[in-house]
Amino acid sequence: MGHDKLRKFAENKTFSCLLEPSSEEILRDGYFNLRDHSIKGNWARTMFGREEAEIVVELGCGKGEYTLALARRYPEKCFIGVDIKGARLWRGAKTATEENLPNVAFLRTRIEFITAFFAPGEISQIWLTFSDPQLKSENSRLTSPLFLERYRSFLKPGGLVHLKTDSRFLHEYTCAVAKANALQVLTCCKDVYSAGKEELPDPVVYEVQTFYEKMFLEMGLPITYMDFVIDHQGPYLHPSDFDEKYWRELEGKRRSFGHKAAD
């Protein structure tokens, strides 16, 4: 491990806005019986010093660019960025600390463990920004029925999931999941920067660009956006009419140059 990463990991321990729980503790009773962390149900009071708060989560936040941008724009709300990469979270936590942002926190954990950290109704919105489309593993996709079930366990009724991505595969797959489960889709835009501003619910969708998003735009890759409500009775169904082979082949051609250059 490089000296710079070691320095960042050491500094991470000094940030009050960054929570780095032990995976061993969460997994003590096994993968399918996760132990709840003490922060579960207590984010507003413990992390943000508020009796109650509307809390928004960004999953796979990377360096926290979106989490920070949302927190600056909406000081009345609280925002939590989640990622497993400590070196990436260092940048977000350091910026939040330097700017003294009281409504930002970061959580270092695997997204598969997310139910151990949030209580029923604790979260109002989820942002998924440029998530890995997981072309070959449906259950690893962050909009799969498996993950929607996890989100439903802690989202408030009527809570939103936002998906912003350069992956047409992930966008179309998510549309198919929403259709299969009769989910309410509020916005579905196949090209954020060609759409009229009135088509998008929040200026942050087109005004905030991550490092990778700028690279994808320079490569000519359209950025898609959708938001939807995951309220649903019963188990979530897998889409039966999604042409996975077609969209995977199309995605392979796009990502062969787009994401190789970005990595």
Query: What percent of the chain stands above pLDDT 70?
Result: 95
Alpha-carbon distance 235 to 90, whole Å?
37
For residue 132, pLDDT over 60 is answered with yes
pLDDT tens digit string along 80-103? 999 999 999 999 999 999 999 999
What pLDDT does 254 receive? 61
Beta bridge partners of 32: none
For residue 69, pLDDT over 50 is answered with yes
Q: Are 125 and 162 in contact (CB under 8 A)?
A: yes
Q: Are 116 and 35 in contact (CB under 8 A)?
A: yes
Q: How many domains does the chain have?
A: 1
Domain that residue 227 falls in: 3-262
CATH of the domain at 29: 3.40.50.150
Active-site positions read: 132
What pLDDT does 257 receive? 41
Alpha-carbon distance 148 to 154, whole Å?
10
For residue 231, pLDDT over 90 is answered with yes
Alpha-carbon distance 193 to 120, whole Å?
35
154: exposed, middle or buried (Cβ count in 10 Å: 0-12, 13-18, 19+)? buried
